[in-house]
Structure 1
Amino acid sequence: MSRGLRQLGRLRAACSLGTRPSSFGLSQSRGLTGALPELTKDRYPHVKRGDYATLDENHLRFFTELLGTNRIVTDPSQCEGYNVDWIKNVRGYSQCVLRPKTTEEVSRILAFCNEHRIAVCPQGGNTGLVGGSVPVFDEVVLSTSLMNEIISTDDTSGVLVCQAGCILESLDTHLADHGLMMPLDLGAKGSCQIGGQCGTVLGLEAVKANGEILDCLSTLKKDNTGYHLKHLFIGSEGTLGIVTKVAIHCPPKPKAMNLAFLGLDSFESVLKTLKKAKHELGEILSSCEFIDERSLDLVTSRLKLKSPLAVHPFYMLIETHGSNNDHDEEKLNTFLENVMAEGLVLDGTATNEVSKMKNIWELRERITEGLPLEGYVFKYDISLPIESFYSLVPAMKERLGESAVRICGYGHLGDGNLHLNICVKEFTQDVLKRIEPFVYEFTSKLKGSISAEHGIGFRKPKYIHYSKSHTSIELMKQLKTMMDPNGILNPYKVLPS
C-alpha cells in the first residue's frame, strides 16, 4: 500500500454512498469559448416549433417594466451563453433572458406568458447533459440565477430554506458555520443551482404555468396529509412549474473523513471489493466511485493531473465519514489490508490529509471537463444492476470500433449509476444512429434506467418508453395537459410528442 495511510486532516463532506460527484459544470461566467454547435433545429430537424407567439415590443415592454432594464437581457451576444448547453451539444436562439428575484415576479411572468402563449425555458446553472436547460427554438429564458437568498437555517432540526437559484457550493459554505453540510456534493457544485437538484427536499414552492403559486414548503420530516404534490415537480424539469424555493434537511458535518484510491485488474474484483466495503466499513462508508483506465488516462494526458497510482484497468475511490478518526482509520486500515491480502486490490493509497484528498477527487471530478478536448462527446447517464454496471462499455467498443476516438466509463458504483462517454472527431448522424437506440435497448434489457441523474431533457423523450410503461407516460401527459394546458413550460422536453 502506498504511503499516506496515517496522514491526518479534514476535507468538506460528501454525501450518501455512491452519489458524490456528477458533471464538472459550467462556470459562473456566461461567456463561451470555441466553436458553437449548430442550431438544435438543424441538428435535430424532426422537432418542429410549436404554435407559440413571437416576441414583440409589447411583450418586451411588459418584461422591462416588471424587472427593469438591468434584469432583462436582449443583446444577442449576451443571450448566447444562455442558448448553449455547457457541453455544446444543443443550441437555441432565444432573444430574451429574464432574471427575476422573487416568486412574485416569476408568477407575473408566467401569467403573462401563459395569456400570450409565449414559450418559456426555465434555466438554473445549466449544468445538465440532456439539453433540458436551454431553448430549442426562441423560447424566453427564465433564469433563476438572481434567486439566491438563504431564507433560514435551523441548527437544531438541520433544515435549510432557500431560493432555488442558490449555488450548491455557496450553501455548503454557509452550512459549515452551523456545523452542517448539504446532503449532496457534485462536481458541478460551483455552478449548479439547488432548484435543479431537489430530489430529496422536505418541501418546495413552485409557480404553475398560469402564475399560481403552490406552497408545499413544508419543513417537517413527517407530513402524510394527502397527495405529496412536491413530487410532481421533482424530475419534471420545469415542464409542470418553476421551483422557486426549497426546504432541505442537512446532516451534521462529519468530524472525520478518510479517502482510499485503489487500483484493480478486473471488474469482478471491483464488485467483490464493493461488497467487502459495505460489510466491513458499514456505517462510515460514504462514497464508492468507479473509474476505468481510459477515463483516468483522459485527465492525466489531457489535463495533466498526476495519479498517485500506476496504470491499472480499473480504479475505485472509497470515502468514509464518521465522528471518531481513530476508529474510522482503524476500520479502513483493516479493510484495506484484507482486500490487499486477498488479491482484490493491487495497489492503493489512503489519506485524510486535505490537499491529498482534494487532488485524488479531482481525478474523478474533472473527467467530464477533459472529454470535450477529444472532440464531440456522446454522453449517457444510466443506471444498471451492479453486476452489469460496466457491461455497456465493452459492448459499445465492439459496436463502434474505430469510429470512436475514446469510449470510457466511470460513475457512482454504490448506486449503479454509470456515465458512458463516447468521443468522436465530430458529430455525425451516422454515428448517432449506431449508438441510439442501441444504448437504450441494451439498458432496458438489463432492467436499467435510461437516465439516472440528468433527466430526460430534449434528447431522450422519444426513448422514455424504455424505462417507463405506456400507462405511466400517458398519465404524465395528462398531468402536463392539466397543469400547463397551453404547453408554454419548457416545450419539447421530457415527454414524447
Structure 2
Amino acid sequence: MAVIIPGLRLGLTTVRWLKSQAASTLAVNGRRFAAYEQIRLIHVARDKSNPANGTVPRRLPFSIVSQQDLDFFKQLLPGRTITDPDLLESSNVDWLKSVKGSSEVLLRPKSTEEVSQILRYCNERRLAVNPQGGNTGLVGGSVPVFDEIILSTALMNQVLAFDHVSGILTCQAGCVLENLSNYLEERDFIMPLDLGAKGSCHIGGNVATNAGGLRLLRYGSLRGTVLGLEAVLADGKVLNCLSTLRKDNTGYDLKQLFIGSEGTLGVITAVSILCPRKPQAVNVAFLGCSSFQQLLETFQCCRGMLGEILSAFEFLDSACMGLLEKHLKLANPITDSPFYILIETAGSNAAHDEEKLHNFLETVMMSSLVTDGTVATEESKIKALWAMRERVTEALTHDGYNYKYDISLPVEKIYQMVTDMRKHLGDKAKNVVGYGHVGDGNLHLNITSPTKDPALLAAIEPYVYEWTAACRGSISAEHGLGLKKKNYIYFSKPPEAVALMGNIKSMLDPRGILNPYKTLPDNLR
C-alpha cells in the first residue's frame, strides 16, 4: 500500500525523475522511501502569478470590514485607526517587496487591554487579523495576504522593568531591538540577540519568529533566554505568563507555544528576557581561507582555543564580498580569498582575551588554515568589520530580484548546498551566494536574477528543500515558514507533528482569525 505524505510538494521535473528511477530512494523526514514504489507523491499545481512560493491560497470565509467595524475601532483607538491607503502601503508590503496584501485597516494599540478588546471583537465578527511588528520578515509572514486587519505593535514600545541584579528585562512587544540594546548598554548589560535588522525589528516579532541572530553561538536561542511572555489569545483572553524566574517547573511551559508561532496562536504583547552583562573586552578578527574545509578546521580550532570567550563565528563567500564591493563600495580589509570568516570574542579581561586570540591566530596562520587576516579592538573598527557580514543582505537587494533560503544543515554540509545549487542552476541565475552562522549550522542561500523569473523559481524549488531533507536538515533555521514555506513543512517535520500543530491551532484559535494562510500547510485548513 502506498505511503501518503499530505502536502508534500514536488515539482513536475522531480516527479518525472522519480518515475524513471525505479530503484532509487528519496529521503524525507529522515526516512528513506523507494521512489515511486513505496510513496505516492502529491503534486500541487503551481500558479505562476503568486509573488510568494507558487500557490495562491483561496480567501477563507472571513467577514469583510464594515463601516460599523470601523466605527468601533475608531472609538476604541481614536487617531490610531488608519484607513488612508498611502499610510497603509508600507504595512501591506513585505521588506523584500515580494508579497503584497490589500488590507484597508491598520490598528495601532498602546496596551494589552486594547489588543484584548480588538481580538475579542474580531473573533466575534470573524474578522481576520495580521499581527505585525517591524515588518522585517523574509518569508511573507508579517503582511496580509488578502484584506486582513493589520494589528501593529509599534506603539507598544515601553520598557516595563529592569532588574540590575538578575539582568532580567521586561518590556512591551513593540520595542525596537536596537533601542533595547542602547537602553541596556547604558546599564552595563546587552541583549542576547543581535540582528542585521535591529534598527527596525521589534522584540515581539523576534520572539514570535524565534529569531536566531549573530550571537546564538554564545547566548543560545530565544527559547532559552525568554523567561516569560504575555500574549492575547484569539478570543481576547490575556495569557499572563510574564515570569521573571529562571527556574519554574510547574506544569507545561506554555510560553514555548508562542515562541516561533509567527502570530498564529496569539499576539505577544510583552516579554521578559534574560540579558547578559556587557563584556569588558571585545575583539573581532576578519580572516581569509582558501577552502571551506579549511574554514571548518579553523572553526574546530577556534572552539578549542577560544572556548568561553567565543561569541560569534560567521562566514561569507567571495561572491558575497564581490557584491559588497560592487554595490556598497565597501573595501575588502584583507587580500582576496574564496572564503571569509568573522570571529568575535567577548570577555571580562582584555589581556587574557587578547592573549588567547593571539595564540589562536598564530596557530591557524602557521598551519596555513588562514591565508590573511586583520583584528580590531576599537569600536569603530569593530563596526567596520561587522559591516562586511551584516550588510550582505543589503548588497543583495541591489543585485536584482532575490530568492532567499534560510536552512539548517550539518556543519560539514553547509557550503556543498551552494556548490550543488550553482551546478543545478547553471546560467539560469545571475548569482548564487552563501553566508551565515557556522557556529549553529545556519546557511543563508541567496540566488539573484535580473528580474522575477518563474522558470528560475521552478528550478530552485523544490530542489533546495529536497536537498535539505536528504541531509536531515531544516528548511527554516531562523526565518520561520510564513506564507512562502508553509507547504514545504513536511520536508522537515513528520505528518504526525504537523497534524498536532494543526490541533493546537484549532484549540487556541478555533475560528482561524490569527495570521491565516501562514505557517501551517494548506491541507490542514
In the superposition, the TM-score normalised over structure 1's length comes to 0.91
Taking the aligned partners of 1:272 and 1:151, their CA distance within structure 2 comes to: 45
1:169 aligned counterpart, secondary structure: helix
Alignment match, 2:383: 358
> Whose relative contact order is higher, 1 or 2, with alpha carbons under 8 Å and at least 6 apart?
1
- Alignment of 1:244 with 2:254, yes or no, is no
The answer on whether the counterparts of 1:39 and 1:92 sit within 8 Å (CA) in structure 2 is: no
1:62 aligned counterpart, secondary structure: helix
For residue 142 of structure 1, the aligned residue among 133, 151, 175 is: 151
1:197 aligned counterpart, secondary structure: helix
- Alignment of 1:48 with 2:58, yes or no, is yes
Structure 1 segments, 4+ long, off by >4 Å, are 38-45
Aligned 1:310-321 pairs, distance under 5 A = 310-321=335-346
Taking the aligned partners of 1:359 and 1:103, their CA distance within structure 2 comes to: 40
Taking the aligned partners of 2:259 and 2:354, their CA distance within structure 1 comes to: 38
Alignment match, 2:29: none
Alignment match, 1:275: 300
Q: CA deviation at 1:428?
A: 2.3
Alignment match, 1:208: 233
Q: CA deviation at 1:56?
A: 1.1
Q: CA deviation at 1:154?
A: 0.2
Cα shift readout 1:460-497 (whole Å, capped 9, x = no counterpart): 11100111111100000001011111100000000011
The answer on whether the counterparts of 1:41 and 1:136 sit within 8 Å (CA) in structure 2 is: no
Report the AA paired with residue 96 of structure 1: V
- Alignment of 1:66 with 2:91, yes or no, is no
Taking the aligned partners of 1:431 and 1:408, their CA distance within structure 2 comes to: 15
Report the AA paired with residue 439 of structure 1: V
The answer on whether the counterparts of 1:407 and 1:420 sit within 8 Å (CA) in structure 2 is: yes
For residue 109 of structure 1, the aligned residue among 110, 113, 118 is: 118
**Structure 2 residue ranges without an equivalent (≥5):** 1-47, 208-221
Taking the aligned partners of 1:39 and 1:173, their CA distance within structure 2 comes to: 43
For residue 186 of structure 1, the aligned residue among 185, 188, 195 is: 195
RMSD of aligned alpha carbons: 1.2
1:202 aligned counterpart, secondary structure: strand
Q: CA deviation at 1:44?
A: 4.5
Assess, with a 3 A threshold, how the Cα gap between structure 1 residues 285 and 479 changes in structure 2: closer, same or farther: same
The answer on whether the counterparts of 2:51 and 2:98 sit within 8 Å (CA) in structure 1 is: no
In the superposition, the TM-score normalised over structure 2's length comes to 0.86
Taking the aligned partners of 2:352 and 2:90, their CA distance within structure 1 comes to: 49
For residue 437 of structure 1, the aligned residue among 462, 468, 474 is: 462
Cα shift readout 1:140-174 (whole Å, capped 9, x = no counterpart): 00000100010000000110000000011101111
Aligned 1:211-230 pairs, distance under 5 A = 211-230=236-255
Alignment match, 2:355: 330
The answer on whether the counterparts of 2:432 and 2:448 sit within 8 Å (CA) in structure 1 is: yes
Alignment match, 1:3: none
2:312 aligned counterpart, secondary structure: strand
Report the AA paired with residue 341 of structure 1: M
- Alignment of 1:156 with 2:132, yes or no, is no
Q: CA deviation at 1:43?
A: 8.0
- Alignment of 1:121 with 2:130, yes or no, is yes
Q: CA deviation at 1:46?
A: 3.1
Alignment match, 2:30: none
Aligned 1:338-377 pairs, distance under 5 A = 338-377=363-402
Q: CA deviation at 1:189?
A: 0.7
Alignment match, 1:19: none
Cα shift readout 1:13-64 (whole Å, capped 9, x = no counterpart): xxxxxxxxxxxxxxxxxxxxxxxxx985898553111101111100100100
Q: CA deviation at 1:235?
A: 1.0
The number of aligned residues is: 459
The answer on whether the counterparts of 1:255 and 1:322 sit within 8 Å (CA) in structure 2 is: yes
Alignment match, 1:16: none
Cα shift readout 1:258-308 (whole Å, capped 9, x = no counterpart): 000000100000000000000000111110001100011111111101121
Alignment match, 1:29: none
Taking the aligned partners of 2:127 and 2:325, their CA distance within structure 1 comes to: 47
The answer on whether the counterparts of 2:178 and 2:198 sit within 8 Å (CA) in structure 1 is: yes
Aligned 1:441-452 pairs, distance under 5 A = 441-452=466-477
The answer on whether the counterparts of 1:39 and 1:91 sit within 8 Å (CA) in structure 2 is: no
**Structure 1 residue ranges without an equivalent (≥5):** 1-37
The answer on whether the counterparts of 1:41 and 1:48 sit within 8 Å (CA) in structure 2 is: no
The answer on whether the counterparts of 1:298 and 1:367 sit within 8 Å (CA) in structure 2 is: yes
- Alignment of 1:91 with 2:116, yes or no, is no
2:415 aligned counterpart, secondary structure: coil
Taking the aligned partners of 2:293 and 2:309, their CA distance within structure 1 comes to: 24
Q: CA deviation at 1:179?
A: 1.1
Alignment match, 1:426: 451
Alignment match, 2:312: 287
Stretch moving more, 195-204 or 214-223: 195-204
1:389 aligned counterpart, secondary structure: helix
Taking the aligned partners of 2:113 and 2:277, their CA distance within structure 1 comes to: 33
Stretch moving more, 421-430 or 242-251: 421-430
Report the AA paired with residue 270 of structure 1: L
The answer on whether the counterparts of 1:40 and 1:137 sit within 8 Å (CA) in structure 2 is: no
Residue identity (%): 56
Taking the aligned partners of 1:268 and 1:139, their CA distance within structure 2 comes to: 48
Report the AA paired with residue 259 of structure 1: V
Report the AA paired with residue 246 of structure 1: V
The answer on whether the counterparts of 2:204 and 2:270 sit within 8 Å (CA) in structure 1 is: yes
Cα shift readout 1:415-460 (whole Å, capped 9, x = no counterpart): 0010000001111222111111110110111111100111000001
Q: CA deviation at 1:89?
A: 1.1
The answer on whether the counterparts of 2:347 and 2:353 sit within 8 Å (CA) in structure 1 is: yes
For residue 469 of structure 1, the aligned residue among 491, 494, 515 is: 494
Taking the aligned partners of 2:88 and 2:54, their CA distance within structure 1 comes to: 21
